[in-house]
Amino acid sequence: MQLDIGKPILEKNDALAHENRQLLDDKGVFTVNMLASPGAGKTALILATAEALGDACRIAVIEGDVASRVDAELIKAQGIPCVQINTGGLCHLESQMVAAALGQLDLDAIDLLFIENVGNLVCTSDFYLGEHCSVVVLSVPEGHDKPVKYPGIFQAADAVVVSKVDALPVFAFDERAFRTSMSDLNPLAPIFPVSAVKGTGIAAWTAWLKSKIESFGGLA
């Protein structure tokens, strides 16, 4: 059995998301919706990305969490502008929350915005926020079978980052099975194996991101 999220809710969400997108386009802010399970390493990846891109790219972050400011504090400690959204129990971000957060950022001073969505592989990808691309982060300890179990989010992704690859020796993550299921679901999405702590793969991931920002017209 499949349940449908109410159509009026999604239509209302999408209408405001298009307004967000217009604003982001006008301000030249390339925006990435980052989707993952809790603990997949989204925040660590954002921090490693910011470090790799350096001063050439001005980054900001919108942090979505059910509760707490833990991740926002980590981001701000690195001198990166960050707005925390607490959903108070809701399992995904919606476009009106992002609209409010955009109002708190100096969009003229940002080239790249990460929206770190609530950790959840189920419904986050149903809610367009106005982003230019969505990236799913899957960590090695979660297992290679996640695309088979949660196909929707992997199908919709513009890229997939496989994080914590430094843990490959201790987890039964079948890379070939993972790539096979991804090529069935979403053959065009590039896959970036990374380790944020070791720095592995960060160069290839940031090069892809930079090329997306450049073709959007940012970093001119």
Q: Where on the chain is the footprint of Mg ion (CB under 5 A)?
A: 42-43, 71
Residue identified by tokens 């607490």 is 86
For residue 123, state whether it binds Zn ion (rule: CB under 5 A). yes
Give me the least distance between CB of 123 and Zn ion, in Å please: 3
For residue 77, state whether it binds Zn ion (rule: CB under 5 A). no
Nearer to Mg ion, 163 or 181 (CB): 163
What spatial distance separates the first Cα and last Cα of the chain, rounded to whole Å? Answer: 49
Give me the least distance between CB of 150 and Zn ion, in Å please: 13
Give me the least distance between CB of 69 and Zn ion, in Å please: 21
Q: Select from 97, 100, 116 the least CA-distant residue to 59.
A: 116
CA-to-CA dists, residue 139 to 135, 173, 195, angstroms: 13, 10, 9
With CB under 5 to 8 Å by kind, the binding choice for 92 among Mg ion, Zn ion, none is: Zn ion
Angle of helix 202-216 versus helix 42-53 axis, rounded to 10: 70
With CB under 5 to 8 Å by kind, the binding choice for 71 among Mg ion, Zn ion, none is: Mg ion
Nearer to Mg ion, 71 or 158 (CB): 71
For residue 91, state whether it binds Zn ion (rule: CB under 5 A). yes
- Whole-angstrom distance, CA of residue 6 vs CA of residue 93: 16
Q: According to CB under 5 A, which one of 27, 42, 58, 92 is a site residue for Zn ion?
A: 92
Angle of helix 70-77 versus helix 42-53 axis, rounded to 10: 10
Query: CA 45 from chain center: how many Å?
Result: 10
With CB under 5 to 8 Å by kind, the binding choice for 210 among Zn ion, Mg ion, none is: none
Interface positions with Zn ion (CB under 5 A): 91-92, 123
